[in-house]
A and B are shown apart, each in its own frame.
Chain A
Amino acid sequence: MNKNRSNLPQKQNFGKKQAVQGIKKSPAYLLPFCLLLPAVSVIILLYIQPFLASFWGSFFTRRGEFGLQNYKLVLDRYLIDVYFTFAVTIFSTVVATILSILLGVYLRLSQGWVHKIVSILYRLPIFLPFVVVAQMMRSFLAPHGILNLLLAHFNLINIERPLQLFNWIGLSFGFVWKEAPFMVLLIVGGFQMIDDSYIEAAKSVGANLYQIITRVLIPMNKQTILVAVTLVFCSLVGCFSFPYMLIGGKTPSTITIDIAHRVTYFRDYGVANALGVFSYLMVSILAVYYVLNMRKGLYD
């Protein structure tokens, strides 16, 4: 510190003189707090406060009574939707995980021009927003959509009775379409870290492809796969725009759709918050795992 102080006069003409002197005069141990304070206060005020308010608000009915009435109403009327959300999310996450591991293995082990094209193209959906995915799926999966028209064109279905896909099937299709590539990105990164020598060693003792996948690649990449599964599961439970645009107004629907209905049609924030707490509970185990795991990673 002393060394710096002696240099102070030399940099009087430096651009941010004021700021520098401000920082200089404060004891060094205060600097990190000054730098962190603005960002942390924004998060506390605009995220943590409403996050906690959603628990608190779930105990108040529309008429201001305190109690568990909102939860009772959720269990009476929306339990099917809670199950539906859980089932669709689990199903989509499992399908996306299996597909992404398979594609990841393919990208890790194969070569050639097909491999090269796939390794670039699969990234396409990763950064698309769910609103755009929603519009794509609406026009692709509709009764009069491209999928049904093509299937009818090749006489695979009767166009008078098109496939009805604005339900859990379409929802899962969109979820997997958007999230599997993201999982591939993470998983391939992990697979790439595994040295060729492990795979060669497994081959030399007579392991077939299945054994290489289940005994070498997946176990050595367990952490990454778990993080990918967690991220996808948590973001699908909370996904609002895509379900709302695809199956909004239908039954069964997702928790996020119910929350929006409770707010826009009834101004019933208590029940909406209780539904929100259900979605928190749904992700809680994985969310805690994720937070602890990532925090550990960020310490280094």
Chain B
Amino acid sequence: MIKEARIKTNQSILKKTVELILFIIFLFILFAPIFSILIWSIAIRWYWPNTFPQQIGFDYWLQALGIIKSLTLGAVNVLPAFWLSLGIAIVVVVISMLLAIPAGYALSKLKIPHFLKGIILILFLLPRAFPQQPVFLNLMLLFNKVGLNGTVTGVILVHIVVGLVYAVWITTSTFNSIPPELEEAGRSMGATRWKAFSRITLPLATPGLIASAVFVFLQSMFEFTGTFFVGLPFITTLPMTLYSASGSNIQFASVIAILLLIPSIVFMIVIQRLLKAEYIGGISG
């Protein structure tokens, strides 16, 4: 009996040790790439093959944020790109949500002929399933004809296409999660459809709609492929600045990468409070 008990404790010690070793490997793989942009963003002098930089400081941060004047080769001031990205993202969120809320409500709550609903759902699923790059290439050719190429409007339209698909999807599942009996009860008490929607369904849907808006906002802030074709070289959003800095100056590129990292971590924390796991499932990837 004692021997058996000892074997059991030995086994559990072994198990704990394996778990701990795997945990350390997990932490290394997860954090080492993140750590490497953090350390590059503050490395002023780092001569090969030293394991760590010789001199660290926030010079590149200050230069990138335009606080001190930059004389470095390949220097970029990221502030204009940041404001441009922010402005585009806000416009994209407003337009996408104005389009998505009615569409999501209709798909979720109203009677639509079966075959038509099928077609519409396919329309909104296709962009998620097929590679988008060739589509953006042809959108660029279309925009060339109408003079939208290299304009902020063109970039906003591309971002709306990307964001709208997700927005319609999340709003539809948000409205689906609200029991129809509530609105029916309101209407049987004499409320109009608009009143029932605005007083009952809309308030209940607000958390999901906010999550959807925040997600569209991030999609726009992060959008790369569409902006690459439609926007460059005239419209340089934050990801485009990162792309061009990446080839020339690793410190500036790291600073921009961290600036883009922050909103996604904030979003991760926010979305877990607002959204149920089954919605998140459909989102990223």
A residues in contact (CB < 8 Å) with B: 3-4, 7-8, 11, 14, 16, 19-20, 23-24, 29, 31-36, 38-40, 42-44, 46-51, 53-54, 57, 110, 114, 117-118, 121-140, 144-147, 149-150, 152-153, 159, 177, 179, 182, 185-186, 189, 227, 230-232, 234-235, 237-238, 240-241, 245, 256, 259-260, 263, 269, 272-273, 275-277, 279-280, 283, 286-288, 290-291, 294-295, 298-300
Contacts and interface: CB of A to CB of B under 8 A. Distances in A.
Taking each of A8, A132, A295, which has the highest tally of chain B beta carbons within 10 Å of its own beta carbon?
Answer: A132
Contacts of A279: 131, 133-134
B192 A11 contact: yes
Given A8-B192, A19-B194, A135-B254, 16 more contacts: A4-B193, A32-B106, A36-B103, A38-B98, A50-B136, A114-B19, A125-B30, A126-B268, A127-B265, A127-B271, A140-B32, A153-B51, A234-B128, A269-B137, A279-B133, A283-B130
Nearest to B50: A149
A130 B224 contact: yes
Contact of A269 (B19, B141, B256): B141
Given A122-B30, A132-B261, A38 B102 contact: yes
B242 A50 contact: no
A131 B228 contact: no
SS class, residues of chain A in contact with chain B: helix
B120 A40 contact: yes
B239 A7 contact: no
B181 interface: no
A135 B37 CA distance: 7
Q: Which of B27, B37, B98, B105 has the most chain A CB atoms inside 10 A of its CB?
A: B37
Contacts of A23: 193-194
Given A40-B120, A177-B29, A299-B117, A263 B134 contact: no
Given A32-B110, A136-B33, A152-B49, A39 B137 contact: no
B110 A35 contact: yes
Contacts of B173: 298
24 contacts: A7-B190, A23-B194, A32-B106, A35-B103, A38-B103, A39-B99, A42-B161, A46-B158, A47-B126, A51-B130, A54-B137, A57-B138, A118-B23, A132-B261, A135-B242, A136-B33, A139-B250, A189-B277, A230-B129, A234-B129, A241-B239, A273-B137, A283-B131, A291-B126
Interface of B: 19-20, 23, 26-27, 29-30, 32-37, 39-40, 48-51, 98-100, 102-103, 105-107, 110-112, 117-118, 120-139, 141-142, 157-158, 160-161, 164-165, 168, 172-173, 176, 187, 190, 192-195, 218, 222, 224-225, 228-229, 239, 242-243, 246, 250, 253-254, 256-257, 260-261, 264-265, 267-268, 271, 277-278, 280-282, 284-285
Nearest to B187: A4
A121 B268 CA distance: 11
A276 B136 CA distance: 11
Nearest to B195: A11
B15 to A, nearest CB: 9
B40 A240 contact: no
Contacts of B138: 49-51, 53-54, 57, 269, 273
A260 B228 contact: yes
B190 A3 contact: yes
Given A7-B190, A232-B285, A241-B224, A51 B117 contact: no
A144 B48 contact: yes
Residue from A29, A50, A124, A275 having most chain B Cβ neighbours under 10 A: A50
A298 B172 contact: yes
Contacts of A46: 139, 157-158, 160-161
B130 A280 contact: yes
Given A118-B26, A131-B260, A291-B126, A136 B36 contact: yes
Contact of B99 (A42, A114, A231, A287): A42
Contact of B257 (A7, A132, A177): A132
Contact of B135 (A24, A29, A47, A121): A47
Contacts of B239: 129, 131, 241
Given A35-B102, A131-B243, A114 B20 contact: yes
A35 B271 CA distance: 27
B218 A49 contact: no
Nearest to B118: A295
B124 to A, nearest CB: 7
Nearest to A277: B134
B246 A135 contact: yes
A279 B128 CA distance: 14
Contacts of B23: 114, 117-118
Nearest to B253: A135
A186 B281 contact: yes
Given A47-B161, A54-B137, A145 B129 contact: no
Given A42-B160, A245-B246, A291-B122, A280 B134 contact: yes
The 7 closest A-B pairs by CB, nearest first: A276-B134, A238-B131, A129-B222, A50-B138, A287-B129, A35-B102, A39-B103
Contact of B225 (A29, A132, A237, A240): A240
